[in-house]
Copies of this chain bind each other. A is one copy, B any other.
Amino acid sequence: MKIRVIAPIISDEFNSEILEEASQFKAPDMEIDVVNLSRGPASIESHYDEILAAYHVVELVRQAEKDGIEGVFVDCFGDPGVDAARELVGIPVVGGFQPAVLTASLVAGKWSVVTVLQSVVPMINDLARKLGVEKNMVSVRDIDTPVLELTDKGLMERRLLESIQKAVHDDGAEAIVLGCTGMLGLADRLEKDLAKKGVPVPVIDPTASAIGFLEMLIRCNVTQSSLTYPRPTEKERKL
């Protein structure tokens, strides 16, 4: 079972860390590789970034299918290009948002997303409405930290702990979804730290959920519906 992670950004410096993270959650018979964009944004924090990324993501997803890959994870919580890519290929394609929040909806009645910046909150609200789970999402909080500054793991962790506690106590969250796939390698430690502070709340890592969903879909031989994502008709398109 071969899965590909597409990091929808132009830098390859996170690829090895992404591979390491994703590999923790894989089944023994699963192989994972990681690719990134040659053109597009350095990180995704706006609709504009999404559009720039999506334009290139779709081609990488097409290539993945040609390469014999059986499932693709577009490694961003904004699901850039995911809808379009699903139209183009017969293998399952997931982003970071849908698998994570569907998992949260199973383990808890109400949950919050904790993301990077206030500026992406409206995009996450839109994704929740589109998926039809907005009633389960009691809040979207942010840690006021751009994606490219998440490399300071200590700072990120302190801010996440603070935001998560507010989500639980003030908003009534019963589970937490990490709202950026750049928040790597933290979910398990956060969950343990929170339990020690008397806040026993599941923390969902979007990478883990995405890998798990892809595996499930591949084992079940199920892919995205071609009624929801019909194959685009042939016609003139100038790329």
Contacts and interface: CB of A to CB of B under 8 A. Distances in A.
Interface of A: 10, 24-29, 38-43, 45-52, 54-55, 58, 81, 83-84, 86-88, 92, 94, 98-99, 102-103, 105-110, 118-119, 121-122, 125-126, 129-136, 146, 148, 168, 172-175, 187-188, 191, 200-205, 208-209, 211-213, 215-217, 219-230, 232-233, 235-239
A23 to B, nearest CB: 11
A226 B200 contact: yes
Nearest to A219: B25
Contact of A212 (B45, B135, B219): B219
A55 B58 contact: no
B235 A42 contact: yes
B49 A58 contact: no
Contact of A130 (B83, B126, B202, B232): B126
A40 B24 CA distance: 40
A212 to B, nearest CB: 3
Contact of A51 (B51, B209, B220): B51
A37 to B, nearest CB: 8
A168 B111 CA distance: 22
A216 B219 contact: no
Nearest to A39: B238
B27 A27 contact: yes
5 contacts: A47-B87, A54-B54, A107-B228, A200-B226, A212-B215
A213 B217 CA distance: 10
A220 B22 CA distance: 11
